Amino acid sequence: METILKVQGLRKFYGKLEALQGIDFEVRRGEIFALIGPNGAGKTTTLRIIATLLSPSAGQVSFLGFDLKKNPEKFREKISYLPEEAGAYRNLKGISYLKFMAKFYARSREEVQTYLESAQAIADLGERINEKIGTYSKGMVRKLLLGRVLMTRPALAILDEPTSGLDVINALEVREIIKKFAAEGLSVLLSSHNMLEIEFLSHRVALINQGQILDTGTPAELKSKYQAANLEEVFRRALQ
């Protein structure tokens, strides 16, 4: 399968702290790729760099053949990013927020309309889409934001801990939305510290710890390599 994102030797310093110590991985078209690791491993830092929020201290990131340093605007056009624990403008109606965001990507009024319809279908909020975001539950906000991220059909959706803080039902719905999106041939790069749910969601995973990738592969490959019952055990053995 075709590689759309390639990360090589990525390093990031926050002052003296080396948060990323040389990260390598690639994401292919139509796959769900997960960075899994404990808090502070460097997942958010990696995702923020690819989303053009932070500049890398060293290393290369190329996306659809474009270089991050040379063409960050190409990244912004074709990548949508969902920050960790994100919210939205509380005083806006759900639909107004979607419209506000859609206008940055759409080239025509019809396209805005197409995006809005697609976002509404993904978020599945019914009539409540016309209410202020301040009145939404956490699960509703997350689904609204997923609708926002996916409505433009980005080549790559970056989702930082998309299910964290959600109840079982909402987390399940979110996972279904992500799977459906990837089934349409688009790619997802996500992060999670919940290693068990990732096993059922992603095609390939990278184990990340203290700014370093420990191993990469499909859940099945990793489980047989480390002779483990699940990814949590894989991670523990990979650490040794």
Partner 1 sequence: MRKFTNLLTKEIKELITLQLVISLLFTVFLFYFIGQMAKSEVKKALRMQKIAVLNLDTSPFSQELIRNLRSGNFEPVLLRVKTKEEAIQQTNSSNMNLLLVIPEGFGQGIEKLELKPVETYTFLRSLSIMANRNAAVFNAVLKLINNYLSNDYLQKQFPELDPNKIKNPIKSRNFVLVKDKMAEGSAEQITGFITSQSLFVPIILMMIIIYSSQMVISAIAMEKQNKTLETLLTVPISRTSIVTAKMMGAAVVGLISAIIYMVGFRYYMAGFMGDVSRAVKASNLSAIIQSLGLALSPNHYLLLGLSLFLAILCGLAMATILGVLAEDYRSAQSLVMPLVFLVLIPYFLSFFSDFRTMSLPAKILVYLIPFSHPFLASQNILLGNYGIVFGGILYMLIFFAVLIFIAARIFSTDKVLTMKLRFRRKKVVL
| Residue number, 10 or 129, with CB nearest to ligand ADP | 10
Among the candidate windows 39-47, 89-97, 173-181, 202-210, which touches Mg ion by CB under 5 A? 39-47
Tokens representing 58 are 């060293």
Of 87, 95, 100, nearest in space to 138 by CA: 87
Candidates 27-35, 77-85, 164-172, 202-210: pick the segment binding partner 1 (CB under 8 A): 77-85
Q: Residue from 33, 44, 128, 235 that binds Mg ion (CB under 5 A)?
A: 44
Q: Copy the structure tokens of residue 100.
A: 């506000």
17: partner contacted, choices partner 1, ligand ADP, Mg ion, none (Cβ within 5-8 A by kind): ligand ADP
Binding of Mg ion at residue 163 (CB under 5 A)?
no
Distances (CA, A) of 137 to 131, 143, 178: 12, 10, 20
Count of residues near ligand ADP by CB under 6 A = 11
Stretch that binds ligand ADP, among 43-51, 95-103, 126-134, 169-177 (CB under 6 A): 43-51
Contact flag: residue 81 with partner 1 (CB under 8 A):
yes
Of 17 and 220, CB closest to ligand ADP: 17
Q: Which two tokens stand for residue 121?
A: 């279908």
Number of H helices and number of E strands within the chain? 9, 10
The Cα–Cα gap between 234 and 215 comes to 10
Q: Which is nearer to ligand ADP, 39 or 108 (CB)?
A: 39
Residue span binding Mg ion (CB under 5 A) among the ranges 84-92, 98-106, 121-129, 137-145:
84-92
Residues 4-63 binding partner 1 (CB under 8 A) are 14, 48, 51-55
Q: Are 75 and 24 in contact (CB under 8 A)?
A: no
Contact 7, 18 (CB under 8 A): no
Which residue stretches of the chain are H helix?
A: 43-50, 72-78, 94-102, 109-123, 138-151, 168-183, 195-201, 219-226, 231-239
- For position 206 contacting ligand ADP by CB under 6 A, the verdict is no
Among 4, 7, 27, 43, binds ligand ADP (CB under 6 A): 43
105 in Cβ contact with 112 (< 8 Å)? no
- Measured from the CB of residue 71, what is the shortest distance to partner 1 in angstroms? 12
Strand partners, 209: 212
- Interface residues with ligand ADP (CB under 6 A) are 14, 17, 19, 37, 39-45
- Interface residues with partner 1 (CB under 8 A) are 14, 48, 51-55, 73, 76-77, 79-91, 100-101, 103-105
